[in-house]
Structure 1
C-alpha cells in the first residue's frame, strides 16, 4: 500500500495535468490570432479599405471593408480554405500544429493514468512509474512549445493571410500592405498548459527525491555495521 505522501503527490500531479488538459481544450476552441491589413484597388492612389481575419484552429472569420470592393464577411474552414489558395507550406504547418496539439492531449492523458496508477499501487521503476510520467509530461511540454513557434511562424513568415484575402476578392485585383498580426487568448493559453505540465514533473521529482533519501537511510545501518556482525 503506498504511503500517504506518495498518494498525495501523485494525485497532485494528476490534478495539475488534468487542469492543463482543460486549459488546452479551451484554448483549441477559442481565437488564436487576428490579422489586419490595409487594402486598395490596384491603381488607386490612396488607401480606402481594410481586411480583418480572425483565426481559430479549425475555422476563421474574414471581414473585408471596401477590400477591394464593398464589404463582405464570411466564415471559412482553415485547412480547406488554405488548400484552395494553394499555400502548401501554410497547409503543412497548420496541419502539423493540429497534430502536435493532439499528441499533447494524448501524452497528458497518459500522464494522468500513470499518476493515478501510482497513487494506488507500488510499480517498479518502469514506464508505469515516475519514469513514464517524466517522459509523457516532458513530451507534452516540449511539443506545446513547438506549437507556439510553428503557429507564429506560419502567420508571420508565410503569406497565407494575404493569399486568403486575394482569393476571397476574386477577379478584382487588390493591393495589400501594412499587414499586422496580434496573438489572442487561445495562443497564450498554451503557455499555462506548458507550465502545468512542468509542475506535474516537479511534483513527482519531489517524491522521487524523498523516496531515494528514504532508501539511502534504510541502507545506512547495514553499510555502517562492523564486518564481524555482517558475517553472521
Structure 2
C-alpha cells in the first residue's frame, strides 16, 4: 500500500485537476470574445452604426445598430459560418477547439493516473509520477497555445469581416476599425493553466520528499567507517 504522504499528494493532484476540468468545461460553454465594428452604408463616410459580434466557440450572435437596420440581431453557428469563407480564421478556430479537446483528454488521463497511485505503487513509468507529468504538461502547454492562437485570430485576422459578410450578404456596408474585448471563456483558460501546473507541483513535492527520506535512510551506511563496513 502507498504511504499516507503519497496518497495525500496524489489525491490532491487529482482533485486540483478535476477542478481545472470543471473550469475549462464552463469556459467552453460561454462567450470568448466580443468584436465591434463601426459601419456605414456603402459609399458613405459617416459611421453612424455598429455591428457587434459576441463570439463563442460554437455559437455567436450578431447585433446591428443602424447597420443598416435598427436593432436587428441574428444568431449563427461559428464553424459552419466561417466554412463558407474557408480562410485562415476557420483553421485557427478549429485548432483552438481541437486543443481544448486535447486539454480535457490529457487532464482526464492525469486524474486516472493520480487515482491509480493513491491505491497502488507503480514503478517510475507512465503509470507513476512520469504519467502525471506528461499528461499535465501537455494540457498546460496546449492551454497556453490556445490563449495565443485565439487572441491572434480575433485581433489580427479578418474573422469579424468574414462573419458579418456571410450573415448579411445582401447588404453592402462599409466597416470601420474594429474594437474587441475578450470574454469570460477566454480568461478562464488562465486559471485552468495555473491549476494544471499546481497539480504537477504537488506530485513533484511528493517525489522530493520521498527522495529526501530515502537519502536520509542511506546516509548512515554511507557515513560508516571503512573498518565497520568490512565486517
TM-score, normalising length from structure 1?
Answer: 0.95
Matching residue of 1:56: 56
Corresponding residue number in structure 1 for 2:72: 72
Which residue number in structure 1 is paired with residue 168 of structure 2? 169
Q: CA deviation at 1:70?
A: 4.3
Deviations 1:110-139 (A, max 9, x none): 110111111111111111111111111111
- TM-aligned CA deviation for residue 30 of structure 1: 0.5
- Identify if the C-alpha distance between structure 1 residues 206 and 115 changes in structure 2 by more than 3 Å, giving closer, same or farther: same
2:12 paired residue number: 12
SS at match of 1:193: helix
Cα distance in structure 1, aligned partners of 2:64 and 2:223: 80
* TM superposition shift of 1:88: 1.7
- In 2, the alpha carbon distance for the partners of 1:215 and 1:198 equals 26
TM-score in terms of structure 2 length: 0.96
Distance across 1 between alignment mates of 2:81 and 2:166: 9
CA distance in 2, matches of 1:199, 1:191: 12
Displacement of 1:32 in angstroms is 0.6
Equivalent pairs counted in the alignment come to 231
**1:87–1:160 contact (8 Å) kept in structure 2:** no
CA distance in 2, matches of 1:41, 1:96: 35
Which whole-Å deviations, capped at 9, do the CAs of 1:135-174 have from their partners, x for residues lacking one? 1111111110100110111111110101211222223211
Say whether the 8 Å CA contact 2:26–2:185 is kept in structure 1. yes
1:102 has 2:101 as partner: yes
Q: Which aligned segments of 4 or more residues in structure 1 are displaced greater than 4 angstroms? A: none
Cα pair 1:126 1:132 within 8 Å, conserved: yes
Matched residue of 1:125: which SS?
coil
**Whole-angstrom CA distance in 2 between matches of 1:96 and 1:203:** 30
2:184 maps to which residue? 185
CA distance in 2, matches of 1:222, 1:88: 68
Structure 1 pair 159–87 and aligned structure 2 pair: CA distance change class (3 A) = farther
2:170 match: secondary structure: coil
Tell me the CA shift for residue 226 of structure 1: 3.0
Instruction: Check conservation: 2:63, 2:74, Cα contact below 8 A.
Output: yes
